[in-house]
Amino acid sequence: MGRIMIRIDGLTDKQVEILDKLWACDTTEEVFEWMTSLDDDTFRMAVTLQEMVIDSMLEQPAEDDVSMAQNMLRNIGVKC
């Protein structure tokens, strides 16, 4: 299985930190627990960044085996 590479240019250090924390979550429950601990502004930024990641993953060229991408999306609560 290949490694999925996502590149989002122009992020602030804070946004990179948010994405790192989001990416470190292994389950929907972990994402929910972490996101509910955020203040309103950071929560909105995390949701926006999560949507950007999902959009970026969906724009990746289709390959024969997309199970890794599907698993990653399922882990953060996206139904595939």
49 within 8 A of 18, measured Cβ to Cβ: yes
pLDDT digits (tens, 9 = 90+) for 15-31: 999 999 998 998 989 99
Number of domains in the chain: 1
Task: State which residues of the chain have pLDDT below 70.
Answer: 1-4, 60-65
Distance CA 37, CA 41 (A): 12
pTM of this prediction? 0.68
Residue 32 included in any domain = yes
Which residues form the domain of 44?
Answer: 13-75
